[in-house]
Amino acid sequence: MMRFMLLFSRQGRLRLQKWFTAISEREKKKIIREMTTMVLARPPRTCNFLRWKDLKIVYKRYASLYFCLGVEDEENELLALEIIHRYVELLDKYFGNVCELDIIFNFEKAYFILDEFLMGGEIQETSKQIVNRAIESSDMLQEPAPL
Amino acid sequence: MSPSVPLQEMIRAIRSARTQCEERGVIQRECAAIRAQFRNTDNEGRSHNLAKLLYVHMLGYPAHFGQMECVRMIASPRYSDKRVGYLGAMMLLDEKQDASLLITNSIKNDLSHSNQYVQSLALCTLACMGSAEMCRDLAPEIDRLLRSSNSYIKKKAALCAVHIVRKVRELGELFVPSARSLLSEKNHGVLHGAVVLITQLCEQSPETLERFRKTVPDLVQIMKGLVISGYSPDHDVAGVSDPFLQVRILRLLRILGRHNEAASDAMNDLLAQVATNTDSTKTVGNAVLYETVLTVLDIKSESGLRVLAVNILGRFLLNNDRNIRYIAMTSLQKIVVTDHIAVQRHRGTIVDCLKDQDASVKRRALELSLALVSASNIRSTMKELLIFLSSCPPELRAHAASGIFNAAERYAPSQRWHIDTILHVLTTAGADVRDETVPNLIQLITNTSELHCYTVHKLYRALLTDISQQPLVQVACWCIGEYGDLLLKGECQETEAVQVTEDDVLDALEIVLQSHMSTPTTRGFALTATMKLSTRIIDNVDRIRSVVSIYGSCIDVELQQRAVEYNALFKKYDHMRAAVLERMPVIQKNSVGQTNGEVGEETVKESQAAKVAQKEMALPPQPAGQVCDLLDLLGGSQEPLQPSSSLGGAASTQPTTAGGDLLDLLGGLEPTPPTPAPAVTVYEKNGVTLTISCEQQSDSGLTVTLTASNSSDSDISGFTLQAAVPKSVQLQMRAPSRDSLPANGAAKLTQLVILNNPNKVNLKMRIRVSYTSQGSAVQDMVQVDSFPGIGAAGL
């Protein structure tokens, strides 16, 4: 299962954090700090997998954002890369040519999309179209914002 | 999709803050506003406020005052409120917070909501942060949803069930029937959820695993459908149909086939099919292949399939993608012990990966190469390893060096190769080798006596080039000290000899001694080596003497001690110097890896010298302590001979208190004369006969045996002998064999007397005999002037 997913910029600013296990705030902050330090320190042409404590860390850089997944030992690292890629595709489809600013200003939407794709540390839906349709339908349910 | 303008404005404001301080100010103002708005219950823009708070929370600022707002939002009938409320619950509430219990009821209600998206929110939140109590409360509800007809809900319920089972193991039983039936679904999302649920149930309980083994044929069918079927636009990823589902099924098959022949057989064909048919040009295909390989290697697969799997890994090793090389190495590392031969086939590629740029790939290549070393490939592998060592990252050096040493020790094709290899490592990575390398290498060198000349030449040359690598310098100093004469001889069979003069050698050692790069241990080595050379060279002994005396006032205590002792060796014990400093014998190794004190050999020599010095100094006082002016005491009066008897008494108490076989004790202690020395009768009266016999032990030592016997008719008891000798003679009486003499010579009494006559005076002995016979005490004295077995000229 996946333990957490973090998105952070090249300067180390957190853009999204999703935790799939129950851990304290202090522990979360510590992990965020360590992940950002570790991943940002990696030289350019190295492999995307790291070992950290008892977890495998899979990370990939898309433009100015680092996507970082912490997975348990039995997980398939190559598939984890695919999961990250699938999420980026979903964001891209939703926002249309997604960039970091989209995720900053619409962070709650990024969470909603993630919650349609992953759940409880596992993949929820393997079809891109179904996820997109679900998001669109949910959005339609949203009551209009007050003026 | 209406953007929440206030939220975006706030975000913009925060981002435009130029300093951390400014940002904090903005956030404090916003948080105050949000708090005010929370208190105001009648507010339609509530969701925006909470969203703002969540943004602030993500930046790392405290947001716990939003927890109750989350609870309120979740209870609201509006979907927008619920959405943000549940998001807030997942971010701010975890099972440790008390507020989390308050949302249990809301979740319960929402699980039965008419709108599937509301249901989905509740399911998602429960799966994310549901505590054990919440899970217990809501498990039946989830099970009900697992049986609903809505696949959107079913797939989420399945993953929710996974979370519940993780939190509360006992509830696993509840979900087994539903999980089983879900496998017949066509919807990929539901199928995926079902496979994950079954995997979780099987991992947790072996009995459940047994029951689910029956599903293997179904799983195989599903996989076959995915692999063979044509293009399915919904789930296709770069030509592979639903790789996520495929990988999950393969993982479940792995768990089911482990340790079970029948199940493994059932999946054999499928695995072979997947392995051969999957397109490996893209990462996706490789992900599926990787999972297949892991499964094949973990179940009881037939050997052909295993070879296929290892070959796939071998192909991965040649892949351009670094990630794939990395996972190939990790997998090979796991199986190198069990499938050694199969992995050996790819040894060349693995050794090539030592040159990869990525540090983790290099590390794994190193470990694999070391694991694959064998007698047949030792030379080529070692060449590569040594090249690697010279360019490897610093954190791997120590590991590489020790690995090389181990491999060299196990598989060295020749002694010279072994020594060369170790020297090479010491020159390239000398600073990172372990401490026991130095004594191990020294021991190896002493054992290879035919290569001493070669070794010392090589080491001398190495020492001239570089004295910064401490282990190398230490070994070089030791060798030069030991085999300096070979070095100076100037000829060598194995290598080109360097013409070295004594001054050159001493110069080299002095440079080491004085260099700031040398550690105290190294300087100790150098000093001792210089000292050893004093017996191996001819002309420059004075130079050595001066070096040694200089260090007699060195600040370092160890060096100072050595120098002082060596100085003493020059001055007072010069006659022993050659013996002390001669060639070391071959060092016996006690066990592998144990430092059996070779490092301490330097100090052993010192203590030997010190001990020898001590003994000589101790000897002179001894005679003074043992002088007994016996004859003077005896000469005038009848005073009992206290000194000798007390000495004899002291000596006798020990054996007598020990009891038992006095004769044996004495027999063991005393050096018994091999041939019976001639006995002379010195006293004969009343049936008591006393004879003495002597044996010369050494230049000044003499052993006198007194034998007494009783030829009378009555027993004698309490028989004691006392003896006195001239002033300068030392006397020691051993305990008598018995203290009674039975009648008619039934048993004899013997007593040994040890004499030491260093001044070689004329030896005389006065013996007093005392015993009890027939109730009365008898005392008598006899003087012995000549001792049989000794020449008349005296001792």
Three-class HEC string of B370-432: HHHCCCCCHHHHHHHHHHHHHHCCHHHHHHHHHHHHHHHHHHCCCHHHHHHHHHHHHHHHHHH
Contact assignment for B127 to A111 by CB distance below 8 Å: no
Question: Could A45 and B234 be called an inter-chain contact, meaning their C-beta atoms sit closer than 8 Å?
Answer: no
Residue A84 falls inside a structural domain? yes
Q: Which residues of B45-69 are buried (b: 16+ CB within 10 A; e: fewer)?
A: bbbbbbbbbbbbbbeeeebeebbeb
Please, are residues B401 and B433 in contact by the beta-carbon 8 Å criterion?
Answer: yes
| Number of domains present in the structure of chain A | 1
Residues 6 or more apart in contact with residue B163 via CB below 8 angstroms: A120, B126, B127, B128, B130, B135
**Closest in B12, B124, B327 to A77, CB measured:** B327
With CB atoms and an 8 Å threshold, state whether B80 touches A105: no
Q: Is the pLDDT at B629 greater than 60, yes or no?
A: no
Domain that holds residue A105: 2-142
DSSP string, B449-508: GGGHHHHHHHHHHHHHH----HHHHHHHHHHHHHHHHHHHH---SSSPPP---HHHHHHH
Q: Which of A87-96, B245-254, B729-738 has the lowest mean pLDDT?
A: B729-738
Top pLDDT among B257 and B660 is at B257
Q: Give the pLDDT confidence score for residue B408 in this predicted structure.
A: 87
Nearest residue on chain A to B10, alpha-carbon basis: A105
**Complete edge-to-edge strand list for the sheet that includes strand B680-685:** B680-685, B688-696, B701-710, B749-756, B730-733
Tell me if A127 is assigned to some domain.
yes
Mean pLDDT score of chain A: 92
**Given CA atoms B257, A124, B170, A54 in this order, what sign does their dihedral have?**
positive
CB-CB neighbors (< 8 A) of A142 in chain B: 1-2, 79-80, 83
**Long-range contact set of residues B597-605: C-beta below 8 Å, sequence gap at least 24:** B598/B439, B598/B442, B598/B443, B599/B438, B599/B439, B602/B524, B602/B525, B602/B528, B602/B562, B605/B528, B605/B580, B605/B581
pLDDT at B534: 84
More confident residue, B509 or B1: B509
Partners of B79 on chain A (C-beta within 8 Å) are: 138, 141-143
Residue in A47, A129, A146 closest to B323 by CB: A47
CA dist B252 and B183 (Å) reads 12
Nearest CA to CA, how far is A63 from chain B (Å)?
20
Instruction: Check: CB of residue B752 under 8 Å from CB of residue B662.
Output: no
Q: What is the pLDDT of residue B638?
A: 41
Low-confidence winner among A138-147, B58-67, B321-330, B713-722 (lowest mean pLDDT): A138-147
Question: Rounded CA gap, B510 and B503, in Å?
Answer: 10
Q: B192 vs A107: CB contact, 8 Å cut-off?
A: no
**Distance from C-alpha of A107 to C-alpha of B88, rounded to nearest angstrom:** 12
pLDDT at A92 over 90: yes
Residue B150's pLDDT band, with cuts at 50, 70 and 90, is very high
Among the ranges given (A36-50, B97-111, B584-598, B714-728), the one the predictor scored with the smallest mean pLDDT? B584-598
Both tokens of residue B589?
């190794």
Question: How far is A10 from chain B, CA to nearest CA, in Å?
Answer: 15
pLDDT of residue B682: 83
Model confidence band, residue B599 (pLDDT cutoffs 50, 70, 90): very low
Q: A95: exposed, middle or buried (C-beta count within 10 Å: 0-12, 13-18, 19+)?
A: middle
Cβ contact, residue pair A124, B155, below 8 Å = yes
Question: Which among B51, B60, B188 is the nearest to A127, CB-wise?
Answer: B188
A143 → closest Cβ in B54, B79, B128: B79
Assign A10 a pLDDT band (cuts: 50, 70, 90): very high
Chain A residues with CB inside 8 Å of B237's CB? 82, 86
pLDDT value, residue B790: 60
Q: At what angle do helices B415-429 and B394-411 cross, to 10 degrees?
A: 170
pLDDT range class, residue B439, cuts 50, 70, 90: confident
CA distance B374 to B220: 41
Q: Do B322 and A45 touch (CB under 8 A)?
A: yes
- Most confidently predicted of A21-30, B513-522, B598-607, B684-693: A21-30
Query: Could you give the dihedral angle defined by the CA atoms of residues B764, B768, B769 and B775, in that order, rounded to the nearest 10 degrees?
Result: 170
CB-CB: which of A74, A82, A139 is closest to B283? A82
Q: How confident is the model at residue B614 (pLDDT cuts 50, 70, 90)?
A: very low
Burial class (CB in 10 A: 0-12, 13-18, 19+), B761: middle
Res A49: pLDDT: 92
Residue A87 lies in a domain: yes
Residue B430 or B252, more confident: B252
Q: What is the mean pLDDT of residues B457-465?
A: 83
Reported as a single tens digit per residue, the pLDDT across B519-546 is 888 888 888 888 888 888 878 888 888 8
Is the predicted pLDDT of residue B692 greater than 80, yes or no?
yes
Overall average pLDDT of the B398-405 stretch: 86
Measuring CA to CA, how many Å separate B181 from each of B147, B177, B185, B201, B512? 9, 6, 8, 14, 80
Residue B601 has pLDDT above 50, yes or no: no
**Residue at token pair 């984890």:** A80
Identify which of A24, A122, A142 has the shortest CB distance to residue B79.
Answer: A142
Instruction: Indicate yes or no: pTM above 0.80.
Output: no
What's the pLDDT band for B664 if we cut at 50, 70, 90?
very low
Q: Which of residues 46-105 of B touch A (CB under 8 A)?
A: 48, 51, 54-55, 58-60, 78-80, 83-84, 87, 94-96
More confidently predicted of B85 and B618: B85
Q: Is B686 exposed, middle or buried (0-12, 13-18, 19+ CB in 10 A)?
A: middle
Alpha carbon of A43: minimum distance to chain B alpha carbons (Å): 9
Residues in chain B with CB shorter than 8 Å from the CB of A129 are 234
Q: Could you tell me if residue A110 is inside a domain?
A: yes
User: Given B84, B244, B286, which is nearest A123 (Cβ)?
Assistant: B244
pLDDT at B143 over 90: yes
| CA A72, chain centre distance (Å) | 16
> What pLDDT, in 10s, does the model give residues B12-28?
888 888 898 998 998 89
Q: Check residue B671 and give its pLDDT.
A: 45
Confidence band (pLDDT; 50, 70, 90) for B620? very low
Cα(B189)–Cα(B182) distance, rounded to whole angstroms?
A: 11
Q: Which two tokens stand for residue B45?
A: 């823009």
pLDDT band for position B65 (cuts 50, 70, 90): confident
Q: Residue B360 and residue A50: Cβ atoms within 8 Å? A: yes
Confidence of residue B248 (pLDDT cuts 50, 70, 90): very high
Q: What is the mean pLDDT of chain B?
A: 81
CA separation for the pair B651, A55 (Å, rounded):
75
| Phi and psi angles of residue B375, each rounded to the nearest 5 degrees, phi first | -60, -30
Which of B78, B155, B187, B236 would best serve as a mutation to test chain A binding (most A beta carbons within 10 A)?
B155
User: What pLDDT band is residue B419 in, cutting at 50, 70 and 90?
Assistant: confident
Does the pLDDT of residue B355 top 90, yes or no? no
Backbone angles phi, psi at B168, to 5 degrees: -130, 100
Query: Residue B117: which of A20, A125, A137 has the nearest Cβ?
Result: A137
In the three-class reduction of DSSP (H, G, I as helix; E, B as strand; rest coil), residue B145 is classed as: helix
Q: B interface mutation test: which of A108, A111, A117, A139 has the most B CBs within 10 A?
A: A108
A8 sits in which H/E element: strand A2-9
Question: Any chain A CB within 8 A of the CB of B291?
Answer: yes
With an 8 Å Cβ cutoff, is B152 touching chain A? yes
Whether this model's ipTM surpasses 0.90 comes out as: yes
Do A76 and B5 make contact, defined as CB atoms within 8 angstroms?
no
- The closest alpha carbon to B255, from B217, B203, B207, B305, belongs to B203
B485-523 pLDDT per residue, tens:
888 777 777 677 677 788 888 888 888 888 888 888 888
> What is the per-residue pLDDT across B552-572, written as a single tens digit (0 to 9) for each?
888 888 888 888 888 888 888
pLDDT at B621 > cutoff 60 = no
Place B170 in a pLDDT band, splitting at 50, 70 and 90.
Answer: very high
- Residue-wise pLDDT tens digits, B156-169: 999 999 999 999 99
Indicate whether B217 pLDDT > 90: yes
Q: What does the pLDDT read at residue B189? A: 93
Q: Which residues pair with B749 in a beta bridge?
A: B708
| pLDDT at residue B426, rounded to an integer | 83
CATH number (domain holding residue A104): 3.30.450.60
Residue B55 has its nearest CB partner, among A29, A76, A107, at A107
Establish if A147 belongs to a structural domain: no
**B552 against B244, higher pLDDT:** B244
Tokens of A119: 């759940």
A59 part of a folded domain: yes
B130 → chain A, closest CA residue: A22
Residue B663 has pLDDT above 50, yes or no: no
- Give the DSSP letter string of B299-321: TT--HHHHHHHHHHHHHHHT-S-
Cβ <8 Å between B128 and A119? yes
d(Cα B580, Cα B609) in Å, to the nearest integer?
Answer: 7
The C-alpha of A53 sits at a distance from chain B's nearest C-alpha, in angstroms, of 15
**Nearest-5° angle of CA B26, CA B28, CA B34?**
105
Q: How far apart are CA A37 and CA A31, in angstroms?
A: 10
Task: Residue window 189-228, chain B: list those with CB within 8 Å of chain A.
Answer: 189, 192-193, 196
The residue count of chain A comes to 147
Return the pLDDT at B254.
Answer: 94
Pick the more confident residue, B605 or B467.
B467
Residue-level pLDDT at A146: 57
B283 has pLDDT over 60? yes
Asked if residue B73 lies in contact with residue B85, where contact means CB atoms within 8 angstroms, the answer is yes
pLDDT of residue B157: 95
Residue from A5, A77, A127, A129 to probe the interface with B (highest B Cβ count within 10 Å): A127
Residue of A nearest to B292 (CA): A76
Task: Say yes or no to pLDDT of B2 above 70.
Answer: no
Nearest CA in chain B to A127: B235
